[in-house]
């Protein structure tokens, strides 16, 4: 999962100078990060005074990357402190460039596949997500997913060869389930809405620190727990069914809602994978395809298990 990220040395001098002002001294060392999909700069930096930080930067000409960094900065400025997101240190916006400077989190990405302990730490973080001070200052999860999940009618009609054959007779059912599941994401609590293994760092205390907050919204955080388990399943975790059944992050979420969210996410990922690759993001569409496959496979397993357990 990598984007084609340019090195720190390729940044314009006015950007690095502005970062130096924010951090109090010039950057003397930088290590580019390769995980994730944004095609902009993403560097762990150290200044002459020894201060450490994380810098993301992109030119406006990249379009989506600059917009994502701007959205993330806005979210970080509003997140309640107990979330444990990276602290926003400052934003640079000049001469066609956007850069955000945040706290560097001393941590590592989960194992591949994530261990049960790591997954529990991540779901614990999701389960205790607080409410936004003012939910109307951020997008609403329900509104976003009501649009994003409404892909089944077009998928079934326009791309019948792309969807798994077993889903075609169920397209109308999956559409209805997905729409209903989107409604169950309404709420006022912090939702990351892009939670997967590469957006998590496990710190030295064992706490899961969530990063990359460009899609932050107000809603019901169980959807974050589910997207994390889909990603864990993609990576080969054997613990997803047990955690779905046992973890408090899913308290009150019905089996029908889980199926609907899996159908909605599978359709969303698959629909995205059919689009051309964005500039300097060659791995995004293949990643969306494997995430779709993981969601489809889990949905089918759940339906098959219920069919087997149902009395004749």
Claim to verify: residue 269 and residue 247 sit in the same structural domain: yes
Provide the CATH number for the domain around residue 118.
3.90.1200.10
Give me the mean pLDDT over the 88-110 stretch: 96
Residue 266 domain-assigned? yes
User: Which residues are registered as beta bridge partners of 208?
Assistant: 202
Residue 39 domain-assigned? yes
Write out the residue range of the structural domain in which residue 82 sits. Answer: 8-102
Claim to verify: residue 261 and residue 128 sit in the same structural domain: yes
Are β-strands 189-191 and 217-219 bridged in parallel, bridged antiparallel, or unpaired? antiparallel
Claim to verify: residue 283 and residue 184 sit in the same structural domain: yes
Q: What does the DSSP 8-state code read for residue 184?
A: T
Claim to verify: residue 264 and residue 128 sit in the same structural domain: yes
What is the 3 state secondary structure string of 243-285?
Answer: HHHHCHHHCCCCHHHHHHHHHHHHHHHHHHHCCCCCCCCCCHH
Residues 37-57 have pLDDT tens digits of 778 999 999 999 999 999 999
Claim to verify: residue 32 and residue 112 sit in the same structural domain: no
pLDDT score of 293: 98
Q: Which tokens sit at 250?
A: 């899913």
CB 175 within 8 A of CB 181: no
Q: Which tokens sit at 165?
A: 């054959």
Claim to verify: residue 172 and residue 264 sit in the same structural domain: yes
pLDDT score of 163: 96
Q: Which of the listed residues 102, 122, 140 is the one where a domain comes to its end?
A: 102
CB 278 within 8 A of CB 39: yes
pLDDT band at 153 (very low <50, low <70, confident <90, very high): very high
d(CA 311, CA 289): 35
pLDDT score of 62: 83
How far is the CA of 311 from the CAs of 108, 241, 307, 308, in angstroms?
47, 22, 8, 8
Residues 63-98 have pLDDT tens digits of 788 999 999 999 999 999 999 999 999 999 989 999
Q: Which of the listed residues 49, 77, 102 is the one where a domain comes to its end?
A: 102
Claim to verify: residue 62 and residue 154 sit in the same structural domain: no
Largest Cα span, the chain:
73
* 29 closest CA partner among 12, 16, 40, 39: 16
Residue 2 domain-assigned? no
Q: Which tokens sit at 260?
A: 């609907």
pTM, rounded to two decimals: 0.95
Claim to verify: residue 54 and residue 165 sit in the same structural domain: no
Claim to verify: residue 96 and residue 123 sit in the same structural domain: no
Question: Which residue carries 């077993």 as its tokens?
Answer: 166
Residue 263 domain-assigned? yes
CB 57 within 8 A of CB 97: yes
Give me the mean pLDDT over the 243-272 stretch: 99
Claim to verify: residue 17 and residue 146 sit in the same structural domain: no
CB 262 within 8 A of CB 295: yes
Claim to verify: residue 111 and residue 70 sit in the same structural domain: no
Residues 286-305 have pLDDT tens digits of 999 999 999 999 999 999 99
Q: What does the DSSP 8-state code read for residue 105?
A: P
How many distinct structural domains can be found in the chain? 2
Residue 29 domain-assigned? yes
Within 8 A by CB and 6+ apart from 304, the residues are none
Is residue 26 pLDDT above 80, yes or no?
yes
Residue 1 domain-assigned? no
d(CA 33, CA 30): 10
Claim to verify: residue 85 and residue 144 sit in the same structural domain: no
User: Chain-wide mean pLDDT for the chain?
Assistant: 95
pLDDT score of 309: 65
Provide the CATH number for the domain around residue 42.
3.30.200.20
Is residue 237 pLDDT above 60, yes or no?
yes
Q: Which of the listed residues 102, 123, 153 is the one where a domain comes to its end?
A: 102
pLDDT band at 312 (very low <50, low <70, confident <90, very high): very low
Residue 3 domain-assigned? no
pLDDT band at 311 (very low <50, low <70, confident <90, very high): low
Residue 33 domain-assigned? yes
């Amino acid at each position: 999962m990598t984007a084609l990220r340019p090195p720190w040395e390729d940044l314009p001098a006015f950007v690095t100078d502005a970062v130096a002002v924010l951090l109090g001294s010039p950057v003397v060392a930088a290590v580019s990060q390769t995980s994730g999909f944004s095609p902009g700069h993403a560097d762990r930096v150290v200044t002459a005074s020894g201060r450490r930080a994380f810098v993301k930067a992109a030119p406006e000409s990249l379009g989506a990357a600059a917009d994502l960094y701007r959205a993330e900065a806005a979210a970080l400025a509003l997140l309640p402190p107990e979330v444990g997101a990276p602290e926003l240190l400052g934003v640079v916006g000049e001469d066609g460039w956007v850069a955000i400077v945040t706290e560097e989190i001393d941590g590592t990405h989960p194992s591949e596949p994530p261990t049960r302990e790591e997954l529990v730490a991540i779901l614990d973080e999701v389960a205790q997500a607080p409410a936004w001070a003012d939910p109307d200052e951020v997008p609403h999860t329900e509104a976003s997913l009501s649009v994003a999940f409404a892909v089944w009618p077009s998928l079934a009609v326009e791309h019948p060869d792309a969807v798994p054959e077993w889903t075609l007779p169920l397209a109308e059912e999956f559409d209805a389930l997905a729409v209903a599941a989107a409604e169950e994401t309404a709420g006022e609590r912090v939702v990351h809405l892009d939670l997967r293994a590469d957006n998590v760092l496990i710190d030295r205390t064992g706490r899961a620190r969530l990063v990359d907050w460009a899609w932050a919204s107000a809603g019901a955080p169980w959807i974050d727990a589910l997207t994390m388990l889909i990603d864990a399943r993609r990576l080969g975790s054997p613990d997803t069914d047990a955690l779905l059944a046992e973890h408090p992050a899913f308290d009150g979420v019905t089996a029908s809602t889980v199926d609907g969210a899996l159908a909605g996410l599978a359709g969303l990922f698959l629909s995205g994978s059919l689009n051309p690759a964005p500039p300097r993001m060659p791995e995004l569409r293949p990643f969306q395809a494997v995430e779709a496959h993981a969601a489809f496979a889990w949905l089918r397993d759940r339906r098959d298990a219920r069919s087997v357990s149902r009395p004749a």
